[in-house]
Chains A and B, each alone.
Chain A
Amino acid sequence: MNGYCRPRSVSEAVAILAANSGAMVIAGGTDLVIDRRLGRADPQAPLVDVTGIDGLRDVHWDGDELHLGATATVREIESDPAVIVRASALAEAARVLGSVQIRNMATLGGNLCTASPAAEMAPPLMVHDAVVAIQGPDGERRWAVADFATGPRTTILASGEILTNVRLRTPAHSGSCYLRQTVRWAMDLAGVGVAAWVLTDGTGREAAVQEARVALGAVAPTAVLVPGLEALLAGAPPTTERLGAVSAAASAACKPISDTRGTAEHRRHVAGVLAARALSIAHARAAGLWSGGLAPVNGRESAVASSGARA
């Protein structure tokens, strides 16, 4: 190949990558184009553009699995009716990523493969227990999205492999929510991003938690699942006391750094606060108690809506 090619199928892309070891995959390009210009990625590396691959962009139901194509744009994810209703956390994370222009370009797969510690798509997919499909020279393998990123900007993808789709199930009586804290209300990376998912035994205020997951973004080298929640929550509704224990567990699961978006101590605190809040919204959605639509941008109810002031 020359410097650039645009395969039409996954198998063609995999064959090209196998034959050109230095080649890099480009999707939306919102990270890679900058990295190449600044020399953080090799500007001479040949590009394999996966956005022309048939079907790689589809979002559809495959039986009871929601199938999200790797090159679906973040904007398509945020506006997909199935995602909004059945995987609310993912829609909520998508709609706060970058700007409209960036979301029109950036892809779901690109966000996961770039593997920023603040990757907006990772926590919601982790709480939904999503599975990624990876295609390589030896065929397809499936992997839990929770184990996909291995560190800042590193993933389990071996050379010559591409991410093709992400799948998740949305059982009855389940609900999810994503909240984040940022310094600016838009065009900012998360200081802390928190996704929660709950499965209940039915509807109504007294619906007991059967399963629950919380994932944290931007507070560790990769997004992390908070361990031990089942023991804290299973068998009862999430009372104030139980939510307090969730906060403590979330704060304890952080390994944050201090930077311009917050000190380590502040991040640890905010992760706890948002974990309890996101979990109670997820429970309300699972139990059919939620009529509030998607969470407001940046979780600040009044700041944007009432005055338009910069929060």
Chain B
Amino acid sequence: MRISITVNGDPVVQPVDPSDTLLSVLREQLHLIGTKWGCLTGDCGACTVIVDGRSVVSCLQTVGQIDGADITTIEGIAGRGRMMNDLQEAFVTHGAAQCGFCTPGMVVAAEQLLRDGVEPDGAAIREGLAGNLCRCTGYSKIIDAVLSVALARME
């Protein structure tokens, strides 16, 4: 089957096995390797991408189901021509990344949470990011980074 999708603003027409996962199509066919290959069981969130305005774990997203969809991966989160957006900058200034393996999924999930208007409140952000595991930071700095952007974007 051939799917037509939009990836980070660009139209893509791609022959796929419809029962393949979006994660494997992104990484192995489109060579967008920022989206991480983690647990493959939906538990770690390292593979999080945005599909039509909703964050999903791409390791469980069957690609036949998303023909026509608008997809944003970590490579497109800052928008065209920009290195980083405010959220990514905040991860840097707060020291919210160590090994960095969780970071793309964490940033993508947090970005969608912010777009959905999450309350600027540590508990709400923790709850919203419960599906993203980090083995390094202890989460505090990640929550601080997201909180700072939630507050800044309200202004």
Contacts and interface: CB of A to CB of B under 8 A. Distances in A.
B42 A30 contact: yes
Interface stretch (B6-14, B56-64, B85-93, B96-104): B56-64
A3 B42 contact: no
Contact of B42 (A4, A36, A52, A101): A101
User: Which residue among B61, B122, B128 has the maximum number of chain A CB atoms within 10 Å of its CB?
Assistant: B61
B55 A100 contact: yes
B43 A49 contact: no
A51 interface: yes
A186 interface: yes
Interface string A178-203: 00000001110000000000000000
B65 A34 contact: no
B56 A49 contact: no
A283 interface: no
A104 B54 contact: yes
B154 interface: no
Given A30-B60, A34-B60, A187-B131, A102 B65 contact: no
Contacts of A28: 60
A152 interface: no
Q: Say which size band chain A's interface belongs to.
A: 20 to 34
B40 interface: yes
Q: Say which size band chain B's interface belongs to.
A: 20 to 34
Given A187-B131, A304-B127, A49 B45 contact: no
B97 to A, nearest CB: 20
B114 interface: no
A205 B27 CA distance: 59
Interface string B98-135: 00000000000100010000000011001110111000
Interface string A17-58: 000000000101110011011000000000101011000000
A120 to B, nearest CB: 15
A51 B18 CA distance: 14
A199 B110 CA distance: 41
Interface in A62-121: 75, 98-102, 104-105
A100 B123 CA distance: 14
Interface string B119-155: 0001100111011100000000001000000000000
Interface in A288-311: 297, 304-305, 308
Contact of B45 (A30, A101, A105): A101
Given A3-B18, A3-B19, A101-B42, 9 more contacts: A3-B17, A4-B64, A30-B42, A33-B62, A34-B60, A47-B62, A52-B65, A101-B56, A102-B131
Smallest CB-CB A-B distances: 5 pairs: A99-B131, A186-B130, A4-B18, A104-B54, A33-B60
Interface of B: 1, 17-19, 21, 40-43, 45, 48, 54-57, 59-62, 64-65, 109, 113, 122-123, 126-128, 130-132, 143
9 contacts: A4-B17, A6-B64, A26-B65, A29-B62, A30-B42, A33-B21, A33-B62, A37-B40, A305-B123
